Amino acid sequence: MMEERHPYSATLLIYCEDRSGIISSVTDFINEHDGNIIYLDQYVDAEENTFYMRIEWELEKFIISPDKIDLIFKESLAKKFQMSYRLYFSDEKIRMALFVSKLPHCLYDILSRCQSGEWDVEIPLIISNHEYLKPVAEKFGIDFYYFPITPENKREQEEKEIELLRSLNIDFIVLARYMQIITDDFIKSFPERIINIHHSFLPAFPGAKPYHSAHKRGVKIIGATSHYVTADLDEGPIIEQDIARVTHNDSVKDLIRKGRDLEKIVLSRAIHNHFKRKTLVDKNRTIVFN
Amino acid sequence: MMEERHPYSATLLIYCEDRSGIISSVTDFINEHDGNIIYLDQYVDAEENTFYMRIEWELEKFIISPDKIDLIFKESLAKKFQMSYRLYFSDEKIRMALFVSKLPHCLYDILSRCQSGEWDVEIPLIISNHEYLKPVAEKFGIDFYYFPITPENKREQEEKEIELLRSLNIDFIVLARYMQIITDDFIKSFPERIINIHHSFLPAFPGAKPYHSAHKRGVKIIGATSHYVTADLDEGPIIEQDIARVTHNDSVKDLIRKGRDLEKIVLSRAIHNHFKRKTLVDKNRTIVFN
Amino acid sequence: MMEERHPYSATLLIYCEDRSGIISSVTDFINEHDGNIIYLDQYVDAEENTFYMRIEWELEKFIISPDKIDLIFKESLAKKFQMSYRLYFSDEKIRMALFVSKLPHCLYDILSRCQSGEWDVEIPLIISNHEYLKPVAEKFGIDFYYFPITPENKREQEEKEIELLRSLNIDFIVLARYMQIITDDFIKSFPERIINIHHSFLPAFPGAKPYHSAHKRGVKIIGATSHYVTADLDEGPIIEQDIARVTHNDSVKDLIRKGRDLEKIVLSRAIHNHFKRKTLVDKNRTIVFN
Amino acid sequence: MMEERHPYSATLLIYCEDRSGIISSVTDFINEHDGNIIYLDQYVDAEENTFYMRIEWELEKFIISPDKIDLIFKESLAKKFQMSYRLYFSDEKIRMALFVSKLPHCLYDILSRCQSGEWDVEIPLIISNHEYLKPVAEKFGIDFYYFPITPENKREQEEKEIELLRSLNIDFIVLARYMQIITDDFIKSFPERIINIHHSFLPAFPGAKPYHSAHKRGVKIIGATSHYVTADLDEGPIIEQDIARVTHNDSVKDLIRKGRDLEKIVLSRAIHNHFKRKTLVDKNRTIVFN
């Protein structure tokens, strides 16, 4: 209702070793089959000699049927240039799982965007290590799963979570102020598909209680950072950051209040970039196509 | 739940002609009666020779009982300095009415803040000229009143609205993307107590369709402006503004999308400043105490 | 000294009606002649169906000699697609003229960047309608020409200026707080090659004394805007804008002080984008390639 | 020439244990002696129970002569409240020393502001561990002292520098991208009077080569931080910070270029706050009065 319908289109996210002729080969491939390119952005990491590209084209007159694009692209181009790539279609409904603990602001923001139609994303479930936000899930009519975590049961609980997420065909996971460290095994099950929000301007103030640290250090600006989750806590590739000015007048409580707005907006921008297929991870950096 | 309880306190917002001795007289008044000042900010408009002050003090040991402060302050100080002032107590629950049309993002943001306990504000009702957002009101358990407006019935409908708002002891009104011009009579019923969000960086692009105008003009930055509503459309005293960068790549749809986040955050900051009693209007400028 | 040497390269700025095959044709053209593409950014204005592109490639192994690229590109591609284009080479030294009046901050900023080697731009002359800043020009060893302007002599003086600018092979002109309206005839002599800085967030507060207007209106944010000069004053295509927060505490003098920093930085960013050949004008919007 | 003359005034910066009656006592002191208060800002650090205040008043009709204010204020108020305080007069010309190495952008920015009259500050000398920027000093007519530093001669050279600075009655020192660690002994000679600019958003990326680290970490925002120098490198109380957005497209060279503008503006804002007597250090936080 909010977002107008886009034309039916396909999107390719590509990366490979850089060499001559990639762009012209890919654009030729689309043109020759009567596809109308509506988006092209590319980036070359000169140090690493790696080529990255996002290209989107309308399928209306494209003479290859959608179910054959993957195979034909692979055979005619991807093999030649040894490309890694992902192919998406605009009519696929993306499915997101939310992990929360006790803080509701990011959760409300995400649910509001989905239910108002601002985002065309399905949320089949919310998972939490507390029952605290169950009423919010109910208010929005979304299934809420309570997985209490203790050091003893963590592995077991995570395995159940993974099973549940897979059974529901979850595409990606958002840790919306989920106050639990997740294990490497869990992360490996959803590589580059778990998005976290950290309530500081990383790499400043990693770990717990960043607003307290920021206040103590007397910074004049606070921040929030959304990143893909990797095995190294708060070290994953950054998708989006933003900041707010503070003064000596701001108490820790004021920083927390100002930070809440930062957190929810930064996280939502990162989620938007992810489900719009605008992101590719390049070692520990996120390419965010414009 | 989110916001810790503050101590029981009183706040004075004062303005008067500037002259020597105002600050010391007011602080003496509080000190002598064993009040503990926890906030003081003042501002002198040198051109207009007007003094503005916000002062807050704990009432725990204050030897004047809360119900007598107004009278005693008036007799001992306000008369002497010919002060205009407002007195507030921290245990008063403020009551806000929301006016909406069809766009839900500001509404969701405000309701989420209230229901999560981030804001300690009551919302007795939502008024709309469409039935479109009734389901949102119901989801959050808030009474929704439908007042369809036509050129013919506008005056009559507004009178009913005013009566309803008064019967519910509404302290202030927020136009959360309410797409109707309200009449001067309505505005006069709630002077400096109606807050609007305009989806541009005022005074640029007043009136309708500012994102279309911004796109056409090729600006590199868009904005949103929250202001008190006065008889002159989009000309009222500004409470808060913020901006976002855009590029030639951004379509009108992109501006609208980026603008939504601006609008809801800017409006919520303005509401927060208002109900925290941080604002005073000085001719057509808003003093926002820090 | 500050800026490392870039490889010897050519840059094409292209625009034309959008159709299939442009990108692949251009990239093929470069690849086939052994050029190494080091930059590509393109943009399609879908409403106007116009294609814009900036492409840069190393010439080291390019088998067409630099003096023949223009002709061969025109014959093999530009005619076919009815392209407008400009071709630049990285070893061309760009020549900038500065127009100033009395305010020195933008002038100092520009001269400092050039003399420190931050910018690889020549400044053959400074033109002014006052003698006020002559000592600054002398300090930096740059020729200073004094052209006093009166309503009577304006046309005549401008003609002399144009002659002088042409005799010195000036590529573009920067109005660094030049407090004179220049005539349409002058503008037509340097189309899309005159850059102005206006000390407000356009289109808010066009014309004279914008900081006074901003103060009176009580804005919470001030701005500066750099744009190409067109016949319509303060209406030309915007290259760059930026803003700074202000409060009720800020006097007009404070706005002017904060604005000075905005003005010089915004103007310098616009100049940088211009001489790095990153800009194309699309009706009244500036495409700034990233 | 740029900055209008202010009225002749005195400024007190005060801090002491917080207790009732400080504000009214100080304002009474000024009012009773016919001083006209033109600025008052105060702050209470509730955790530390410390009171901080900046107050400025016109001396035109003040009945205590300037040379007696210090003594009378001390006897009548400072002793009673055990205040630490500093007293300044608006007609004192402040004297700043600059330390530089090879990078000129901050140096040019500071010199331009002083020579254009934007700042009313004297620069009796520039000190450097290289001869590189001597021509810039000469261009602006400022004495340049070359103190080459080796591990062996550091202590000896610093002693000569201190002697020189003292002989010239230097009020404060600015390290304008001075690429040398200064010793604790030197710092102790100018407590809270040495301002440094660090080219990152501290506490992120302390130490050398922060832009390289920022690029490697893939941040989406870079920053600059100006702070008072203390014995702990990059750990001193922050005066001012600002940021700029970057993308995956920005190389280390781009970050350095964008960072230069940040550095010079952030450093100049910090210097302005310092010489306008707007700063007080509270443990490791800087109170910047508005």
pLDDT-based confidence at A48, cuts 50/70/90?
confident
Scanning every residue of chain B, which has its alpha carbon at the shortest distance from the alpha carbon of A140?
Answer: B139
Q: What is the pLDDT of residue C6?
A: 63
Mean pLDDT in residue range A4-18: 86
Q: What is the pLDDT of residue A6?
A: 62
pLDDT-based confidence at B256, cuts 50/70/90?
very high
Q: Which residues pair with B97 in a beta bridge?
A: B125, B173
Percent of chain A with pLDDT over 70: 98
Active-site annotation holds for C234: yes
Helix (H, G, I), strand (E, B) or coil at A26: helix
Chains with 3 or more CB pairs closer than 8 angstroms to B? A, C, D
Summarised one tens digit per residue, pLDDT across range B172-218 is 999 999 999 999 999 999 999 999 999 999 999 999 999 999 999 99
Q: What is the pLDDT of residue B4?
A: 46
Residue B151 has pLDDT above 50, yes or no: yes
Residue A281 has pLDDT above 70, yes or no: yes
Percent of chain D with pLDDT over 90: 91
Residue C1 has pLDDT above 80, yes or no: no
pLDDT-based confidence at B6, cuts 50/70/90?
low
Percent of chain D with pLDDT over 70: 98
Q: Which residues pair with C52 in a beta bridge?
A: C15, C43
Catalytic position from the list D34, D234, D242, D282: D234
Give me the active site residues of A, please: 234
Which residues from chain A sit within 8 angstroms of residue D247, using beta carbons? 288, 290
Q: What is the pLDDT of residue C29?
A: 95
Q: What is the pLDDT of residue B189?
A: 96
Cross-chain Cβ contact B253/A112 below 8 Å: no
Residue length of chain C: 290
Scanning every residue of chain C, which has its alpha carbon at the shortest distance from the alpha carbon of A26?
Answer: C24
Report DSSP state, residue D283.
Answer: T
Q: What is the pLDDT of residue A232?
A: 87
Mean pLDDT in residue range D45-61: 93
The 3-state secondary structure of chain D, one letter per residue: CCCCCCCCEEEEEEEEECCCCHHHHHHHHHHHCCCEEEEEEEEEECCCCEEEEEEEEECCCCCCCHHHHHHHHHHHHHHHHCCEEEEEECCCCEEEEEEECCCCHHHHHHHHHHHCCCCCEEEEEEEECCCCCHHHHHHCCCEEEECCCCCCCHHHHHHHHHHHHHHCCCCEEEECCCCCCCCHHHHHHCCCCEEEEECCCCCCCCCCCHHHHHHHHCCCEEEEEEEECCCCCCCCCEEEEEEEECCCCCCHHHHHHHHHHHHHHHHHHHHHHHHCCCEEEECCEEEECC
Catalytic position from the list C70, C120, C234, C242: C234
DSSP H stretches of helix in chain B: 22-32, 66-73, 79-81, 105-115, 134-139, 154-167, 184-189, 210-217, 252-275
Are residues A255 and A214 in contact, defined by beta-carbon separation less than 8 angstroms? yes
Residue C189's contacts (CB-CB under 8 Å, 6 or more residues apart) are C162
Q: How close B237 gets to chain C, by Cα (Å)?
A: 7
Which pTM value belongs to this model?
A: 0.96
Q: What mean pLDDT is reported for chain D?
A: 95
Residue B148 to residue B153: CA distance in whole angstroms = 9
* Chain B residues within 8 angstroms (CB to CB) of chain D: 20-21, 23-25, 27-28, 31, 36-38, 40-42, 44, 46, 245, 290
Mean pLDDT in residue range D220-236: 95
Are residues C211 and C255 in contact, defined by beta-carbon separation less than 8 angstroms? yes
Q: Where are the domains of chain B?
A: 9-89, 94-288
Residue A5 has pLDDT above 60, yes or no: no
Residue A202 to residue D221: CA distance in whole angstroms = 10
ipTM computed for the complex: 0.94
Structure tokens at D104: 């000129």
pLDDT-based confidence at A4, cuts 50/70/90?
very low
Summarised one tens digit per residue, pLDDT across range D252-264 is 999 999 999 999 9
Summarised one tens digit per residue, pLDDT across range C244-288 is 999 999 999 999 999 999 999 999 999 999 999 999 998 889 999
Q: What is the pLDDT of residue C4?
A: 46
Scanning every residue of chain D, which has its alpha carbon at the shortest distance from the alpha carbon of A240?
Answer: D220
Cross-chain Cβ contact B248/C288 below 8 Å: yes
Structure tokens at C150: 């009166």
Q: Tell me which residue of A115, A137, A117 sits closest to A126, measured CA to CA.
A: A137
Scanning every residue of chain B, which has its alpha carbon at the shortest distance from the alpha carbon of A115?
Answer: B136
Tell whether domain B9-89 is in CATH 3.30.70.260.
yes
Which residues from chain D sit within 8 angstroms of residue B220, using beta carbons? none
pLDDT-based confidence at B2, cuts 50/70/90?
very low
Summarised one tens digit per residue, pLDDT across range C90-117 is 999 999 999 999 999 999 999 999 999 9
Are residues A228 and A239 in contact, defined by beta-carbon separation less than 8 angstroms? yes
Of C238, C239, C248, the CB nearest to B287: C248
Question: What's the CATH fold of domain A94-288?
Answer: Rossmann fold (3.40.50)
Residue C2 has pLDDT above 70, yes or no: no
Of A46, A203, A286, the CB nearest to D204: A203
Report DSSP state, residue A137.
Answer: H
Of C43, C243, C285, the CB nearest to B218: C285
Mean pLDDT in residue range C225-233: 94
Chains with 3 or more CB pairs closer than 8 angstroms to A? B, C, D
Q: What is the pLDDT of residue D48?
A: 87
Mean pLDDT in residue range B96-109: 98
Which residues from chain D sit within 8 angstroms of residue A219, using beta carbons? 202-203, 238, 241
Q: What mean pLDDT is reported for chain A?
A: 95
